[in-house]
Amino acid sequence: MLVLRLLNVVAPAYFLCISLVTFVLQIFVFIPSMFRDPSTTPLFSPALLHGALFLFLSANALGNYVLVIQNSPEDLVADWLDGSRSPGSALPGTHFCRLCSRVTQRHDHHCFFTGNCIGSRNMRNFIMFCLYTSLACLESLVAGMAYISATLSMSFADPLAFLTLLPHSISQFFSGALLSSEMFVILMLYLWLGIGLACAGFCCHQLLLIVRGQTRYQVRKGMLVRARPWRDNLQEVFGKKWLLGLLIPVQNVESSYCRQKEK
């Protein structure tokens, strides 16, 4: 438990550090280097387009990250501790997390990178966070490759060029032919690739579970779920204003569990 609590603190700090490094590289290194191209017009220069796209993706990723933390699981722990609510009487998929010390309705999993449980109140924001994080990593990867291509005068037209970039760069770095700043950017390229692929895969996996009306907790425990139309399952998580949630970070809609509780 001590290791998990430590991971619950280290993982968010790691994510925020990566986000800060990415922002600094984009604003102070990648985008200024794009302004040096004299063949582009100032209005439609790649620097402005990349800058606007990066800010849009970053704002949505960080905005949904904050909303995942703010939309905490329902605080029903008092009912459990005083014995007024037993685990058997809880709604299906309800789970008490010892790390959060709270009860999550329609519990999916505990996310260490947000330090919070993912359930009915923040599932939509968590999926948007994964989606925009993967897109921001992809955009940073493209901008970083363009910077390295111009700095080292190399081409990535051959896919093998990216795969062999790291071993060649390491040998050049230790021989003194490569600057430490350039080596750092190359390492960040592979980090962005790994984080982007992981977030994209996790996002697709979560969407598949939502379409089926399941959660990771239910699959892990072998719980049976009532068959429902996939449209109803999607609407329960994303709500009727799902398009607005794709464009800007907004609060999650009330789930059917909350409506049942109010009734």
Active-site annotation holds for 97: no
The pairs formed by 245-248 with CB atoms below 8 angstroms and a separation of 24 or more are: 245/124, 245/128, 246/128, 247/60, 248/60, 248/63
**d(C-alpha 238, C-alpha 246), whole Å:** 10
Catalytic-role residue among 100, 111, 117, 199? 111
**d(C-alpha 125, C-alpha 123), whole Å:** 5
Other beta carbons within 10 angstroms of residue 94's beta carbon come to 22
Look at residues 36, 31, 27 and name the one whose alpha carbon lies nearest to residue 48. Answer: 31
Q: Where are the alpha helices (DSSP H) in the chain?
A: 2-25, 31-34, 46-70, 77-81, 123-152, 159-163, 165-174, 180-212, 216-221, 230-238, 242-247, 256-262
Catalytic residues: 111
